Structure 1
Amino acid sequence: MTSSTQTLPPGAKPLGPPMVGEHVSARTWMAVAAGMLGAFMAVLDIQITNSSLKDILGTLSATQEEGSWISTAYLVAEIIIIPMTALMARVFGMRAYMMGTTALFLVFSTLCGSAWNLPSMIGFRMLQGFTGGALIPMAMTLVMAKLPASKRATGMAIFGLTATLAPSMGPTLGGYLSELYGWPSIFYINWVPGLLLIAGISYGLDREPVKLDQLFNADWLGIAFMALGLGSLTVFLEEGNSKDWFDSAFIVTFAALAIVGLLGWVVTSTMRAQPFVNLGLYGQRNFVAATALSACMGMGLYGSSFLLPLYLGQIAGYSPMQIGEVIMWAGLPQLFIMPFVAKLSIKVDNRILCTFGLLLFGGSCLMNAYMDATTGYDQLLISQIVRAAGQPFVMLTLSNFAMNGIAPKDTPSASSLINMTRNLGGSIGIALLATALSAREHFHSQRLGEAVNSFSSATQLRLDQLTQSFVAKGIDANTASDMALKAVDSIVRREAYVMAYNDGFFLVGAVLIGCIFVLWFSDKVKAPSSGGGGAH
């Protein structure tokens, strides 16, 4: 590959990261840390409403089905803005863009907490997603653009923590805040990290000239197709299960719009000399393997964070705060494991590390595939810690695979695409699991119903025992008989749901372990060391 030289103004520093081994100033680390705080905040806000949804819907007088749009609106906006961050950073400069989008994110977060009805909440959540979504790929771009190769393993380790900790901590933090201070506090809390982010970026990054001509000359047709395709795909995935998929004209319409939008985006991208995001990166073997794995990792991260709170709330009867206390064990141990993984990634083939991580993460899901109605905090603790041990090995090495061999000019595009793919994987995973839960619950109810029937002597004995128990409490015989039937029916439904949750965890575990075969199609990669080693 040949490189062209460019003339720089007197006193100007060359663009791009410092050379390998170069000292990184405290200012640069401050900027990187602020960027990570932004990514954590943006990912956290995807799921922070889940544990408080019942309270929010009660205040806004909305149904459960209507309330699903509170999450969908944020995800649609976020998935649209992520591919646009490379363009926006070129136009406004990283410093101005990150400070501006964070300031707007804080304003819209405050408006979410002050929403007066469901349409206002959905509107503000969409605007919150448009501004917050940009912070996720910008954090990865900062690592690649501002840190020398020898320090990127550390930077990527911190970025990996934001991606894996936030889905685990979202329901926990949301549950605590809602219970102690009311649901609006889950939005107002954003001011703390948001102001720290603005201060860190303001201090850590230099001003860059605004290039509005790039905004006016951008591929707006491609951007329109991208927004239509990704937005429609997200609505299709998020709302499909509740509307019975292709039995709904609404869902069929959005499926068609998604196909038109995505095909239009690909076609316009190939016809432009300088597309707003470089889809040609998918032609690189390492990158396409990393993005496929990133989608599956998104499915695992968001899928497990979707299944476990539902199980604990529905079957175990846990409060949001109790659910948070279980889920936090999939997050907290990562703080201690990630630095160790970062050091290993410099010395060990990252495919081996990623395989180990996928085995642990997938294995933890398989451990949850054998729950019963009495499973709770004590029984779930070990599987949560195994999950926490596995996730850092996957997230850090995936970033190394994705960015290996990427030219500096394509770094923002690569960052946008890898993060977009992970979010899409999460949406696909939740859609699949929600559909699977419903289908498998019906299946197991039918199978159990065949065994538990009035002709079965064991069932008849149990009904007689329950009836006598109710009669002994002073209830008349007819009412007691009806209550016994309802009690048995509720036990059958509960067991069917437990078996369906087990099937869901088995599916996630199987997907994650199956990813190991995809992983080995990529090249051998090690994180760069201070000695200048890198990809092999």
Structure 2
Amino acid sequence: MTTASKHLPAANSSTTPERHVSLRDWIIVVGACLGAFMAILDIQITNSSLADIQGTLGATIDEGSWISTSYLIAEIIVIPLSAWLSRAFGLKNFLLFNTVLFVIFSCLCGVARDLSSMIFFRAVQGFTGGVLIPLAMQLILQKLPLSKHPIGLAMFGISATFAPAIGPSLGGWITDNYGWPFVFYLNIIPGILLVAVLGLALEKSEAQLDLLKKGDWFGIMFMAVGLGCLETFLEEGNRKDWLGSDFIVRMAVIAAVSLTAALIIELKVKNPFIELRLFNKRNFAFAAIANLTVGAGLYGPTYLLPVYLSQIHGYNAAQIGAVMIWFGIPQLFVNPFVPILMQKFDSRLLIFFGIAMFVTGFAINIPLNNDFSGPQFVIPQIVRAIGLPFIFIPLSGVATAGIEPSKLGSASALYNMTRNLGGSFGIAGVGMLLTQREKFHSQFIGESASIYSQALQERINTLVGSLVTKGSSLELAQQQAVAIVDFSIRKQANLLAFSDCFFIFAIVLSLGGLAVLCLEKTKTGVSHEMH
């Protein structure tokens, strides 16, 4: 890790006067973060309601999975397009249009009564909501001087990390008390508030419709197809047995070919729709790699823990929510202090501290046992919740420091895309790992617990004796005893598989720490003009 900083442009020098931040600017930033919060919340909030939605729509589990997948596919496609489209149509008009559509299609999701309509409504909701995420970060970077970026990024951090933490809890509570349609109606009031804030406070920027005429349409097409197929591959792969499914194999091949073509095109064309050359910047490239691991460590456990509590301990949605909320609440208290610490300490040290806390939170979960249920997860959840703001806020600041104002839109889009892709890789990876490790441990324990093992025979005989005294016939008691032993083996195998998953998440976050080692020191507390 170097201690010297590269020379920043003259505009970033300490002699540049601090630009005053008006109340109007802060209102815009708060409004933008509210929009991002809504969009990110809707990724996770339906997870606790899927069973109820599937029941209403008459959909199978595999069919119902597309209610979430369609949202994620549309979102990942539009994120890299958002900066270019906002310049083409004008930032204010583009944000307002998509916010209104997001609210409308949220309501349509609530009244959908067949699966096809729901999937279509969710896809449009994801497309319009996906715009709000990178443009919120872009507005923060543009409206605030560099010295205020940590504060703005802390506010954005609440959207990006607090929303997925509380999504399943909030969705489960709303569904239990009001019904699943209100999970979607929840967007109405904040959506109206966002439209009012953007309409009154955000200045109008001129549309550059000529960008559409000379647009990099081949690059856009290949990027959209590639990202859409990649997201489908990741979301549906585990349910369809990965490479055992022709459909999943086709998605993988199309994704690889399309993304390779998009990469070549974007690096060769004169006016790319997104500036991939930002990855030539050392800090941005390594911060994006670290951000990929953060996405996996954020979204993967958010998927894994409810599955564990449900399968191993039989928790319902409300009980799961009571555990998951502890990953969200502490962030609200920690976030405000991180910008202050960024003025006093090297951002890389803060990131390392955050990663250490996150890894420790995973390590506490290892190994799991039959007694490790909801209450035992509270402390690991709190430890990870404390660590996450120390990763997210400084890492975002390091990634975007020194980037030219004209490229901030692309930087925000790419950076947010890496986090979302990391989340998709994390969820897909943990689903596959859980299945494979459960098979491995079942086989290993099964071989150790041979039917000819004296210890196993004694266990079965004890169970048979107990069951016979309760009224079962000898033959039935023997069958029940074997079934009980088989269940115990599978449960122990599941516990070991879940432990392996938490261990892998610790490794993944540690690898993110290696990327942080490659970051160069950046200056904080200085400002540069964004307009």
TM-score (normalizing by structure 2): 0.94
Partner amino acid, structure 2, of 1:323: I
Aligned to 1:386: 383
Q: What is the CA–CA distance in structure 1 between the aligned matches of 2:457 and 2:192, rounded to whole Å?
A: 65
The aligned runs of 1:229-248 (5 Å cut-off) are: 229-248=226-245
Aligned to 2:369: 372
1:494 aligned to 2:491? yes
Q: What is the CA–CA distance in structure 2 between the aligned matches of 1:478 and 1:444, rounded to whole Å?
A: 29
Identity of aligned residues (%): 47
Does structure 2 retain, via aligned residues, the 8 Å contact 1:152–1:528?
no
Does structure 2 retain, via aligned residues, the 8 Å contact 1:346–1:526?
no
Does structure 1 retain, via aligned residues, the 8 Å contact 2:9–2:402?
no
1:184 aligned to 2:169? no
Q: Per the alignment, in what secondary structure is the counterpart of residue 451 of structure 2? A: coil
Partner amino acid, structure 2, of 1:396: I
Aligned to 2:303: 306
Q: What is the CA–CA distance in structure 1 between the aligned matches of 2:140 and 2:475, rounded to whole Å?
A: 71
Q: Per the alignment, in what secondary structure is the counterpart of residue 134 of structure 1? A: helix
1:131 aligned to 2:128? yes
Q: What is the CA–CA distance in structure 2 between the aligned matches of 1:201 and 1:470, rounded to whole Å?
A: 69
Q: What is the CA–CA distance in structure 2 between the aligned matches of 1:380 and 1:449, rounded to whole Å?
A: 29
Q: What is the CA–CA distance in structure 2 between the aligned matches of 1:366 and 1:119, rounded to whole Å?
A: 42
Q: What is the CA–CA distance in structure 2 between the aligned matches of 1:368 and 1:185, rounded to whole Å?
A: 34
Does structure 2 retain, via aligned residues, the 8 Å contact 1:20–1:148?
no
Does structure 2 retain, via aligned residues, the 8 Å contact 1:44–1:167?
yes
Aligned to 1:214: 211
Pair 1:38–1:2, CA change in 2 (3 A)? closer
| CA positional deviation for 1:2 | 12
Partner amino acid, structure 1, of 2:302: S
Aligned to 1:144: 141
Does structure 1 retain, via aligned residues, the 8 Å contact 2:150–2:394?
no
Does structure 2 retain, via aligned residues, the 8 Å contact 1:295–1:425?
yes
Aligned to 1:344: 341
Does structure 1 retain, via aligned residues, the 8 Å contact 2:287–2:399?
yes
Pair 1:212–1:469, CA change in 2 (3 A)? same
- Unmatched tracts of structure 1, length 5 or more: 6-18
Aligned to 1:22: 19
The aligned runs of 1:267-286 (5 Å cut-off) are: 267-286=264-283
Does structure 2 retain, via aligned residues, the 8 Å contact 1:20–1:149?
no
Q: Per the alignment, in what secondary structure is the counterpart of residue 196 of structure 2? A: helix
Q: What is the CA–CA distance in structure 1 between the aligned matches of 2:475 and 2:210, rounded to whole Å?
A: 81
1:256 aligned to 2:237? no
Does structure 1 retain, via aligned residues, the 8 Å contact 2:150–2:342?
yes
| CA positional deviation for 1:527 | 3.2
Does structure 2 retain, via aligned residues, the 8 Å contact 1:304–1:365?
no
1:79 aligned to 2:76? yes
Q: Per-residue displacement from partner, 1:447-490 (whole Å, max 9, x unpaired)?
A: 11122232222222222222233223322222222122111111
Aligned to 1:14: none
1:92 aligned to 2:89? yes
Q: Per-residue displacement from partner, 1:171-210 (whole Å, max 9, x unpaired)?
A: 1101101111111111111112211211121222112222
Q: What is the CA–CA distance in structure 1 between the aligned matches of 2:455 and 2:55, rounded to whole Å?
A: 43
Q: What is the CA–CA distance in structure 1 between the aligned matches of 2:499 and 2:9, rounded to whole Å?
A: 54
1:329 aligned to 2:326? yes
Aligned to 2:3: none
Q: What is the CA–CA distance in structure 2 between the aligned matches of 1:208 and 1:432, rounded to whole Å?
A: 42
Q: Per-residue displacement from partner, 1:31-83 (whole Å, max 9, x unpaired)?
A: 11011011111111111111111112222222222222221111110000001
**What is the number of equivalent residue pairs in this alignment?**
518
Aligned to 1:359: 356
Q: What is the CA–CA distance in structure 2 between the aligned matches of 1:489 and 1:257, rounded to whole Å?
A: 42
Does structure 2 retain, via aligned residues, the 8 Å contact 1:467–1:480?
yes
Aligned to 1:524: 521
The aligned runs of 1:108-127 (5 Å cut-off) are: 108-127=105-124
| CA positional deviation for 1:23 | 2.5
- CA root-mean-square deviation: 1.8
Does structure 1 retain, via aligned residues, the 8 Å contact 2:296–2:425?
yes
1:415 aligned to 2:412? yes
Partner amino acid, structure 1, of 2:224: A
Does structure 2 retain, via aligned residues, the 8 Å contact 1:112–1:125?
yes
Pair 1:334–1:529, CA change in 2 (3 A)? farther
Partner amino acid, structure 1, of 2:413: S
Q: What is the CA–CA distance in structure 2 between the aligned matches of 1:2 and 1:475, rounded to whole Å?
A: 80
Q: What is the CA–CA distance in structure 2 between the aligned matches of 1:79 and 1:107, rounded to whole Å?
A: 20
Q: What is the CA–CA distance in structure 2 between the aligned matches of 1:515 and 1:145, rounded to whole Å?
A: 28
Aligned to 2:479: 482
Aligned to 1:12: none
Deviates more, 1:175-184 or 1:190-199: 190-199
Pair 1:305–1:20, CA change in 2 (3 A)? farther
| CA positional deviation for 1:20 | 5.2
| CA positional deviation for 1:4 | 13
Does structure 1 retain, via aligned residues, the 8 Å contact 2:8–2:402?
no
Q: Per the alignment, in what secondary structure is the counterpart of residue 343 of structure 2? A: helix
Pair 1:343–1:69, CA change in 2 (3 A)? same
1:461 aligned to 2:454? no
Deviates more, 1:447-456 or 1:425-434: 447-456
Q: Per-residue displacement from partner, 1:501-527 (whole Å, max 9, x unpaired)?
A: 110010001110222121111111243
1:54 aligned to 2:51? yes
| CA positional deviation for 1:332 | 0.7
Q: What is the CA–CA distance in structure 1 between the aligned matches of 2:468 and 2:114, rounded to whole Å?
A: 48
Partner amino acid, structure 2, of 1:257: I
Pair 1:487–1:219, CA change in 2 (3 A)? same
- Unmatched tracts of structure 2, length 5 or more: 1-6
Q: What is the CA–CA distance in structure 2 between the aligned matches of 1:344 and 1:243, rounded to whole Å?
A: 47
Partner amino acid, structure 2, of 1:254: M
Does structure 1 retain, via aligned residues, the 8 Å contact 2:300–2:423?
yes
Pair 1:350–1:526, CA change in 2 (3 A)? farther
Q: What is the CA–CA distance in structure 2 between the aligned matches of 1:371 and 1:59, rounded to whole Å?
A: 36
Does structure 2 retain, via aligned residues, the 8 Å contact 1:357–1:389?
yes
Out of 64, 67, 71, the residue aligned to residue 64 of structure 2 is: 67
